[in-house]
Amino acid sequence: MKLRAFLGYTAATATVFVALLTPFLLMGVFTKGFAALPVHVDEVYSGGPRVRTIQMGTHSIDVHRPVYPHMLQNEKPFVELDWRPVSALPQRVSDAVDIDGDGLPDIRISFDVPRDPKAPLRVDVESLNPHYESMRNAGKEKYSRLIVRVDDAILVRVPLASH
Amino acid sequence: MSTDARVLPPARPAPRGILRSLLLTLPILIWSLVMFFHPGANTKLLSRIAAAITVLFMTALFFMMMRTRNTYRWRRIFFVSLGVFFPVGFIYNLILMRGSMGIPIEEMIAGRTPFCFMPIPMLILPAALTRTLIFPGSIGSSNHGIAAMVALWLALTLVMGKGWCSYACFFGGIEEGVAAIPQRARIRKIDPRWRYIPWAVLLSMVLLSLALFEPAYCMWLCPFKAVTEYVAARNALGLVQNVIFILLFAGLVIVLPFLTKKRTQCSFFCPFGAFQSIFNKISIFEMKIDMERCKPCLVCQNACPNVSLSKESIARGETLLSCMKCGACVDACPRHAVVWHIKGTEIAWKPERARLMFLYAAWAMAVMFGGSIIAQGIATILHFIG
C-alpha cells in the first residue's frame, strides 16, 4: 500500500511539472511532433500537390495532381489550376490549358478578373478532352467545381468526367 | 463509525487564514505574471490592461479557493467568464479578418479555418487509415493550426483528464452560466440512460466522419457554431446546417440547462466529452467517496452538473467515468465524505493535499489557456469602450 501511495504522489507531482513545463517546453515538443507526422490535410480542401507550372507570358498556371475523393465523400474527382499573380492577369482570361502535359490542350477556360478582390467570380470551361467536364457560368458550389480567389491566385477546379 | 485508527478530517473544515491563503496563492500570482507579462508578450496598452485584469481575476479566484476551501463556486466564475469572453474575442477577430462569422470556401481551401478541439476524435480514424486530416485547416505551428491545438489538448489531458471539460473547454461555460441562473431545477427526474447518448453520438460521428471524410459533428451537429463560426451557407443545405446549429444551441445550451440546472449539452450530447472521459482512466486525480462518512443522502448526486454520480457509483465510493472534476460534489457534501483523491493513496487521507496538487496543475493550465482567452475578450471590450 505504501508503494502504491508513493507511486501515486510521484505521478501527481509529475503531473504538476507537466503543467508547469507545458508553455515553455511541452507545447513546442508536441506541436513539432504532430507536425512531423506523415499526415496531410485532405486534398479535397488543399487541392493536391502542384505537379507543374505553365508559363503564359505575364502570368503562370499551376497544374495540380488530380484529386480523387474518398468513399462516400460528396464530391467528384477534379483537377485544380491556379492562375497567378492576379495583378498580371488581363481583364478577361481565356486560356487553352494542357493539363496532362501531352502537348495538346485539354480544356479552354474563360473568366473575368474583377478589380475588386471580393467580387464574385464565374467561369466557363470548354472540354477539349473527354476526360474533363465542361462547366457553364460556375461559381463556388462544390469543392470539385469552383472558381475562387485565394490570396494572389485565382483557383479553378475542373471535375473529371466519369467513365 | 470506523474502528480504523487513522485520523479523519474534521467534518467542516474552517476557512484558511488570510496569510496562509496568500502564501498558497503566491505561486499562481507569479505564474500568471510570467504568462501575461513575459518578454515578447503583447505590448499594446489595451492588451496590457486586459492582461493585468486577467491576472488579478485568476489570482483572486485562486485565493478564494484557498481561503474558503471551496472549489466549485470560484471555478464556476472563471469557467462562465471563459464561456462569455471566448465568443466576444473570437467573433470580433472573425469580423475583423473576414467580415463575417461564416467561413467562405476560399478560407477553407487556403487552410485558414481555425481548428478547435471538438473534431479531434473524428480525425483519428481517417488519419490512421489514410494519413489524411479531414479538416480544412493547416497543420502548421500557428496558434490556430491543427498541430498547436492537438498539442495543447494533449498537454491539458495529461494533466487533467476529463478536467478539460471544467477548466479548459471554452464552450461549457455558457451552459454552466445558464444553469446557474434559476434557483431550482424545473426538471428534476432525468432518466440515467440519457448518459449513454454522448457515447452514441461519438461512435456515430467517428464512423460518419470516416465514411464522409469530413468532420461530421462540425458540419451538422455542433451547437456552438451558433456563437463561433460556421460554414457560410452557399445553398439550401448550408441553410439547413445553420438552422440545426441554432436549434441545438437554443435547446441544449440555453433552455435545458435552465430547466434542469445541469450542463445538458455536456452530459447528454457532447461527443468530445465522451471521448475525454476515457482519459479519466489515465488521470492520477479523481474524486472518491469516503464510505465511512457517507450516509448516503444523495446531495452530491443532485449537485453534480454533469450527472456523473449514481446511487450505484456512490455505493462503490466513486464517481462515474464522465466526472469533470469540477468539485461540486465535494463542496456540496454536508458530511465531507466526497474528497479529492490521488490514485494509489488511501481514501480521505489528506484530501486537501490531493485537492491542492490538482488545483495547482489545473489552475496553471487554466491561466495559460483560458486566461489568455479571457484577456483577449476583455481587450476586445476595452477596444469598443475606448
Q: How does DSSP assign A21-67, residue by residue?
A: HIIIIIHHHHHHHHHTSS-EE-HHHH---EEEEEEETTEEEEEEPPB
Q: Look at residue B90 and tell me if it is in a domain.
A: no
Q: What is the ipTM of this complex?
A: 0.90
B109–A74 C-beta distance less than 8 A: no
What does the pLDDT read at residue A152? 93
Distance CA B167, CA B156 (A): 9
Residues 6+ apart with CB under 8 A from A21: none
Choose one of B282, B303, B320: the last residue of a domain: B282
B105–A69 C-beta distance less than 8 A: no
B355 and B288 share one domain? no
Q: How many separate domains does chain B show?
A: 3
Distance CA B180, CA B171 (A): 15
In tens, the pLDDT along B262-307 reads 999 999 999 999 999 999 999 999 999 999 999 889 999 999 999 9
B312 and B386 share one domain? no
Q: Look at residue B131 and tell me if it is in a domain.
A: yes
Distance CA B335, CA B356 (A): 20
What does the pLDDT read at residue B19? 97
Shortest alpha-carbon distance between residue B113 and chain A (Å): 11
Indicate which of B36, B156, B345 best probes the interface with A, i.e. most A CBs within 10 Å of its own CB.
Answer: B345
For residue B346, the chain A residues in CB contact (below 8 A) are 1, 5
Question: Chain B: residue nearest A2 by CA?
Answer: B345
Beta strand pairing call for B285-289 and B338-342: antiparallel
Indicate which of A43, A45, A67, A74 best probes the interface with B, i.e. most B CBs within 10 Å of its own CB.
Answer: A45
Shortest alpha-carbon distance between residue A81 and chain B (Å): 13
Residues 6+ apart with CB under 8 A from B285: A12, A15, B160, B161, B163, B325, B340, B341, B342, B343, B354, B357, B358, B361
Question: Chain A: residue nearest B124 by CA?
Answer: A39
B38 and B106 share one domain? no
Distance CA B315, CA B189 (A): 20
Distance CA B62, CA A2 (A): 31
Q: Give pLDDT tens digits along chain A (163 positions).
A: 689 999 999 999 999 999 999 999 999 999 999 999 999 999 999 999 999 999 998 999 999 999 999 878 889 999 999 999 999 999 999 999 999 999 999 999 999 999 998 899 999 999 999 999 999 999 998 999 999 999 999 999 999 997 6
Q: Which of residues 92-151 of A touch B (CB under 8 A)?
A: 140-141, 143, 146, 148-151
Tell me if B370 sits within 8 A of B167, measured CB to CB. yes
For residue B156, the chain A residues in CB contact (below 8 A) are 22
B45 and B154 share one domain? no
CA B52 to each of CA B43, B47, B57, B83, B199: distance values in angstroms, whole numbers, following the listed order: 12, 9, 9, 20, 41
> What is the three-class DSSP state of B262?
coil
Q: Look at residue B2 and tell me if it is in a domain.
A: no
Nearest to B357 among A1, A6, A12 (CB): A12
What DSSP character marks residue B102? E
Question: Chain A: residue nearest B216 by CA?
Answer: A73
Tell me if A138 sits within 8 A of A44, measured CB to CB. no
Helical ranges in chain B per DSSP H: 18-37, 45-68, 72-98, 105-109, 120-130, 146-160, 164-167, 172-180, 197-212, 216-220, 236-248, 256-260, 264-268, 271-277, 299-303, 311-316, 328-332, 351-366, 372-385
Q: Look at residue B11 and tell me if it is in a domain.
A: no
What does the pLDDT read at residue B377? 96
B345–A5 C-beta distance less than 8 A: yes
A155–B284 C-beta distance less than 8 A: no
Residues 6+ apart with CB under 8 A from A140: A121, A146, A147, A148, B105, B106, B234
Distance CA B232, CA B95 (A): 13
**pLDDT above 70 as % of chain B:** 96
Question: Chain B: residue nearest A7 by CA?
Answer: B344
B230 and B324 share one domain? no
Tallying the residues shown for chain B, one arrives at 386
Shortest alpha-carbon distance between residue A157 and chain B (Å): 11
Spans of all domains in chain A:
1-39, 43-159
**Three-state secondary structure of B59-73:** HHHHHHHHHHCCCHH
Q: Please count the residue pairs, one from chain A and one from chain B, whose beta carbons lie less than 8 angstroms apart.
A: 159
What does the pLDDT read at residue B5? 47
Shortest alpha-carbon distance between residue A78 and chain B (Å): 14
Query: Is this prediction's pTM over 0.80?
Result: yes
End-to-end CA distance of chain A: 70
Nearest to B159 among A13, A18, A73 (CB): A18
Low-confidence ranges of chain B (pLDDT < 50): 1-5
Q: Which three cell numbers, joined as nine digits, stand for A47?
A: 487541392
Q: Look at residue B152 and tell me if it is in a domain.
A: yes
What does the pLDDT read at residue B318? 96
B127 and B268 share one domain? yes
Domain containing B274 equals: 100-282
Instruction: Check which CATH number belongs to the domain holding B320 and give it.
Output: 3.30.70.20
Q: Reduced to 3 DSSP states, what percent helix, strand and coil does chain A have, rounded to the nearest 5?
A: 25, 40, 35
What does the pLDDT read at residue B8? 57
End-to-end CA distance of chain B: 62
Choose one of B254, B282, B310: the last residue of a domain: B282
Tell me if B255 sits within 8 A of B298, measured CB to CB. no
Choose one of B235, B264, B282: the last residue of a domain: B282
Hey, is the C-beta of A47 within 8 angstroms of any chain B C-beta?
A: yes
B172 and B275 share one domain? yes
Q: Look at residue B206 and tell me if it is in a domain.
A: yes
Hey, is the C-beta of A53 within 8 angstroms of any chain B C-beta?
A: no
Distance CA B268, CA B191 (A): 11
